[in-house]
Structure 1
């Protein structure tokens, strides 16, 4: 590691989903394709598979927008066996100053965490492994001392309990999501401490009312959920990335005083994730 790299090495710290993003980990979609259907979105696009060249161009544009907005973008190496590797959010997550490496549910993705661990060691960054149950970072949404964790096909109660044990100063809240939903961030995301985007049909009535009491909500339709209406990425307070196709959601955000940067990600979303899924924040101010 060079002297400059040492000086720039981030200290992991993420207390929210919307603070100024300073350091983030991505992975280029060099080998991205739908090989084995593991979610409903992939099933839809199976006969119109991912154009890898277009996906790489879109990801390059995504990284440029981040860098143009002052974000230090770091990349883990893409490896041919791992066609889902672009979704770095799933393989790890940061809560406060603790970086966790996920325990993946699907065998097709378990090798990605090994690559992440090797990369973190090269960067001199410490982390904790989740060893109980299974959990993926797409199911983890941080709001200060409150952490929402979605119970999905990928994340279970055992993992939630381990997170709570390791972070006793946090309130870790498990939220059951509809069985066909991939991750919590596909149906719920925070824009700021008083504003959330959510897909109401993904939750039971009790959890839905809990969200509505805590946040003003921009509620999206089934079609908007399919096209990743909640899967925005905040890069600063009241500034975020969103898909240009989600016109109604973007307009609702702008009415709330949010700067919306529209980036085409049409190839990336074919595998079931968008901007939040493609980013592993290490540090937010």
Structure 2
């Protein structure tokens, strides 16, 4: 695990997922449109330079890592208030071996991983009301979808962290969803992250994997 020095003025940097994402061996530093979060990527770039780690940045438009979900050769990109269509086009240009598939989110949704999260090879959690019907059909054709309720979405139910071998770190307060996970053969690990959730993120938001299996 790598930790950057905490800075009190960067209180949103607990959600490290938003600052970058990795595709194959390419690290992309996000282009954050919100001024309050732009210094987070500056701190990350400084660390990357110090460690001599190469990265790509300067994606056209704005993008945050919470709107990027990678599944083999498919890159799902949530079009939210933080991520624009132009950046999805630029990402497709840079990663021509992949299929970048934009998903339009409802206006009140912060990031894609707040309403959609792949938890194993063919299964994903989803809050259906966040998507247009055409995009929902795309997801239904690719995954077995486990639905979360409006209350569970408010409690960041989809934003679990899958750590492999059917193990999923999840909020204990989402009892119905956790029972549903167990009924589908998953082993959920309860961790109370309710204070962090008050700021609009959960387990997936708080991790930034640099190596992909």
Hey, what does 1:196 align to over in structure 2? 124
- 2:20/2:27 contact within 8 Å kept: yes
The structure 2 residue matched to 1:164, chosen from 81, 92, 113, is: 92
**Structure with bigger RCO (C-alpha 8 Å, 6+ apart):** 1
TM-score normalised by length of structure 2:
0.97
Q: Which of structures 1 and 2 has the bigger CA Rg?
A: 1
Residues 78-97 of structure 1 aligned to structure 2 (within 5 Å): 78-97=6-25
SS at match of 1:138: helix
Distance in 2 separating the partners of 1:203 and 1:254:
26
Distance in 1 separating the partners of 2:52 and 2:174:
39
- 1:89/1:137 contact within 8 Å kept: yes
1:154-181 deviations in whole A, cap 9, x for unaligned?
A: 0001111111111000000000000010
2:46 is the alignment partner of 1:118: yes
SS at match of 2:180: helix
2:58 is the alignment partner of 1:99: no
Hey, what does 2:209 align to over in structure 1? 281
CA RMSD of aligned residues (A): 1.0
Distance in 2 separating the partners of 1:195 and 1:131:
30
| TM-fit CA distance, 1:256 | 1.8
Residues 146-161 of structure 1 aligned to structure 2 (within 5 Å): 146-161=74-89
The runs of 4+ residues in structure 1 deviating greater than 4 Å are none
Distance in 1 separating the partners of 2:18 and 2:99:
21
Distance in 2 separating the partners of 1:282 and 1:259:
25
| TM-fit CA distance, 1:122 | 2.3
SS at match of 2:198: helix
5+ unaligned residues in a row in structure 2: which ranges?
none
| TM-fit CA distance, 1:252 | 1.2
TM-score normalised by length of structure 1:
0.73
How many positions carry a matched residue from both structures? 213
5+ unaligned residues in a row in structure 1: which ranges?
1-72
The structure 2 residue matched to 1:255, chosen from 165, 183, 198, is: 183
